[in-house]
Amino acid sequence: MNHVVLVPLLSTKFDASLPATSNPKALRLALLRHETVGAIAASLSAGSLSEHDLRQFIEGLVLGYKRGQRLPNLMALAALAVVLEPRRTRFSDEYLGNLGRIVLPEFRDAADVARECLSHRQRALVVTARNYRLSDAVPADRAQNLGSGVREERRVEKIVCDAA
């Protein structure tokens, strides 16, 4: 059974509440500002919704694939791409990476939004890495007093370096 916060993604009301455009930038922006998407992101952050719940939900959606027909509830996949964009977990990497690699026309809008999310994520990492260089100029003893923010940015730079 799907988690209660995910159920609205399956309604026609949800599809009808999005701009009818194939433009992935516009779709991502509209999804980012969508109440349902915000509620899912909040539940995920609070821990009341797990990545396991998401995986089950996604697997259920994909079962609807039929060649030659737009995937039912396609925009639910796009919405989850937007939800997972800021998360740095193995699950979110796998989801965005694999969805972005799908070239089937039945998945087009969701795959395009996933690629757009990946591109935004990459840009955000670069900005954070740049900020890190500024924070790196702070002496180590002061950095410790600044708390977890600086340490977090160091971690992000390590991720950037590893990715490079």
Partner 1 sequence: MFDHLLLIQPEEESIILQTAQGNDIPNDIAPEPDQGAVAAYGEIRAQHLFWIDRRPPCGRYNCHGLVFANRRTSIREDGHVHTILSDDGYRTLHPGEMPQPGDIGLYRGAGVGIVHSCLVVESPPTNMLIQVADAARVISKWCDWGGEAVHVGSDVHFPGFQCGLEFWTDRP
41 binds partner 1 (CB under 8 A): no
Which of 3, 5, 53, 58 binds partner 1 (CB under 8 A)? It is 58
Measured from the CB atom, the residue of 23 and 128 that comes closer to partner 1 is 23
DSSP labels, 103-118:
--GGGHHHHHHHHHHH
Which of 99, 113, 117, 150 binds partner 1 (CB under 8 A)? It is 99
Measured from the CB atom, the residue of 10 and 156 that comes closer to partner 1 is 10
**CA-CA distance, 58 to 100, in Å (whole number)?**
15
Q: How many CA atoms lie within 13 A of 46 on its CB side?
A: 9
63 binds partner 1 (CB under 8 A): no
Q: Which range touches partner 1 (CB under 8 A), out of 81-89, 91-99, 134-142, 148-156?
A: 91-99
CB contact at 8 A, 79 and 40:
yes
**CA-CA distance, 150 to 142, in Å (whole number)?**
10
124 binds partner 1 (CB under 8 A): no
Number of residues that bind partner 1 (CB under 8 A): 46
CA distances from residue 119 to 123, 124, 128, 133 in whole angstroms, order as listed? 6, 9, 14, 22
CB contact at 8 A, 134 and 154:
no
159 binds partner 1 (CB under 8 A): no
Q: What is the binding site for partner 1 (CB under 8 A)?
A: 12-13, 15-23, 25-26, 29-34, 55, 58-59, 62, 64-74, 94-95, 98-99, 101-108
